[in-house]
Amino acid sequence: MANAEDYVPRTPPVEPSIAGSAATGVCDGDVPYIFYDVTLTDPDDKATSHTAYLTLSGGGQSETFLLGEIVGGQLSGSMLWPGASVGPNGEPTGWPGWIQVGGTWVQTDGNYGWTRGITSAEITVNPETTVPLSYPPASPNCVMAPPGADPTPPGSTTTSASGTGLAETGVSPVLLPLGVGSVLVILAGLVFFLVRRRTNTSTR
């Protein structure tokens, strides 16, 4: 017969976790990539899957991409940012949010253009976790749009070059002093006319 002092409480199993996993947007050779590092902690072998997925969501759209199988609790690698493409030598041939129309690059909401505005993504293995992820910014050493293109960021506003935030009126700042000067000349002429008229009237 077992004694109470011989009873050892059962330790509850540890739930699997992928805490510490990450995904990062990187610009390399004018090509946008997503580098990922997935860590699965599962000491009690409770995970029902070892296949990792990355889900991007934004602008009312969502897309899931297969990353691969986790081996030994780790999975690391990289993938082209959705919508990007490269040639046989790794040179950039396409960017998300851009298409060619008649040989000219045109900015569009298609070709995964919506992914340029995301700020996070979801890594799923079972369990799942949300990680920060943003489209890599352009730099003098890495271009994130077709050569010669002028991308318009979503929600951008036009401000003056001086940074004062003046709204665009269609009048060049160079012409503003000329306009003010013209008004002053007209006012001066009007005053001179009125004074002269009053003088002539009083002398009659």
141-164 tens-digit pLDDT: 898 889 876 655 544 333 333 333
Specify the pTM. Answer: 0.69
At residue 163, the pLDDT reads: 35
Between 163 and 120, residue with greater pLDDT: 120
Res 139 pLDDT > 80? yes
Instruction: State whether 188 and 125 are in the same domain.
Output: no
Does residue 15 fall inside a structural domain?
no
**Which of 101, 132, 163 finishes a domain?**
132
Instruction: State whether 115 and 63 are in the same domain.
Output: yes
Q: How far apart (Å, rounded) are the C-alpha atoms in residues 52 and 71?
A: 11
Contacts of 45 (CB under 8 A, 6+ apart): none
At residue 166, the pLDDT reads: 36
Q: How far apart (Å, rounded) are the C-alpha atoms in residues 79 and 32?
A: 9
Instruction: State whether 181 and 98 are in the same domain.
Output: no
Does residue 156 fall inside a structural domain?
no
Does residue 17 fall inside a structural domain?
no
Domain total of the chain: 2
Q: How far apart (Å, rounded) are the C-alpha atoms in residues 92 and 113?
A: 16
Instruction: State whether 188 and 123 are in the same domain.
Output: no
Q: What is the domain extent for residue 71?
A: 22-132
User: What confidence tens digit (pLDDT) does each residue in 44-62 have?
Assistant: 999 999 999 999 999 899 9
C-alpha torsion sign, points 192, 198, 199, 204: positive
Instruction: State whether 126 and 29 are in the same domain.
Output: yes
Instruction: State whether 32 and 115 are in the same domain.
Output: yes
Does residue 105 fall inside a structural domain?
yes
Res 85 pLDDT > 50? yes
